[in-house]
Structure 1
Amino acid sequence: MAQAYFGLPELSASRFVSLSLMNNSQRYYQTGDQVRWLLDEEGNPSVLQFIGRRDNQVKLRGYRIELEEIAAQLEQLDAVQQAHVLLNDSKDNLLGCVVLTTPSHSEAICELEQALHTQILTSLAEALPSYMLPYKLYALAAMPLTNNGKVDAGAFAQLVQSQQAQVLTAPLAPMTELQTLLAEIFAQVLNTQVRDINRNFFELGGHSLSASQAVALIEQALEVPITLKILFERPSVSALATWCEIHRAAKAADENGQSEEMFL
């Protein structure tokens, strides 16, 4: 657990605190859970009841994830000035919104350029396990603010939705060798051309049998241990290419001495 706080003194200080209980001072980790004591028949505290969270920790695929940790790691990168991380609409993947140190666009929000997207994810994989890596990154012109000048956390979902709506109206062709290869595999098993890397495999006519064929071809072509579950969770060329990049980054970090447990 403490590994995610290494090299982040401010974040560590906010989570690890010293408390004196029964004249004994010890260091404790603040989980962020809000609980209350339930009393027994004699009026004595007996059981702790979970009420909720006092932060924006989320649970994703069985893992508890603190979104601020991911944002803090993103902001450690030279290319990123500010960052915010959130769950997507279906609550099954992470999205990252970043303000770049050197902005290259004037739009309120746009998808990150592919080369920089890969570079950031590769660097992030050296510090975080794969389940904490955002599957998609968006570049913002500036952080959305409230009238009080604070970051408006509720505005990010609306910004992402507006960008996704624009993407739906403008087909995006494969831009990298990896995306081209995946699009060709989709086309082969679906017997149709794939002109948009954001189109859903199953919306294009895919089913469980063709999905199994696609997984087998991808594993053979890229030598990655992909499963049907991964394709169901990331059914587009774009999302699947990002997963492959994350897997490669995690594997490279492991070969360079990182603990394999970080990327399980």
Structure 2
Amino acid sequence: YRIELGELEAVLRTHPAVKEAVVTAREDKLGDKRLAAYVTAKEESREEGTDLAVWAKAKLPEFMVPSVFVWLEAMPLTPNGKIDRKQLPEPEWAQVASTQEYVGPRNQKEELVATIWSQVLGIEKVGIQDNFFELGGHSLLATRVISRLRDMFAGEVPIRILFENPTVAELSEALGSFLQETSGASIVPISREGHLPLSFAQQRLWFLDQLMPDSVLYNIPQAMRLLGDLNMEAWNKSLQVLIQRHESLR
């Protein structure tokens, strides 16, 4: 998405408590770029960042809502009176505002999930009702969460489980159900009679072959020089045994 910072600042200035607003794209502790909003209040009318975040979510598309709101007493200015963006302070990413009232983990699984989110998002405290994507999470960070869950539970946890269950409470419950369903599963041999279903990679290559018949695009040629006597019959038999043993070669 293309985000016009000026348009975003204009929207924030329509909030009844906001006097000035500046939005920048800054790197957080993990090196990911996020939107940070700097605002000053009108007179004594000062709203908490969480309230402004809730208001912003109602006014803006999700991808335009700043990850953090920084309230300033006054904007830093250049000698000619313009806002000095270079002097804006580094946001406290660990204090990213949640729109949910904080509820702590109720069991070990929720505590483990909340801890992983805290580490991946760089946020100090994560409640069980907090939404991963509202806290600044995105698809790349989601893969990091899933990777840690796979290591922790020693299972092939699908990434869709986080997209379908974006809060700590929902994800923890879904993980419990998923792991329970898959814990009794084991790999068993299937019948080799008849045709076997293709893997996704095989389907892809078959499809490409229909578009470009007899293409050598995916061939990897390699020449090898053999020194000494070669028993062609034994060599041929060796290759046949390998092909018979490994389905991927067939």
Relative contact order, higher structure (CA 8 A, sep 6+): 1
Whichever structure has more strand as a proportion of its residues is: 1
Larger radius of gyration: 2
- TM-score of the superposition, structure 1-length normalised? 0.40
Q: How high is the TM-score relative to the length of structure 2?
A: 0.42
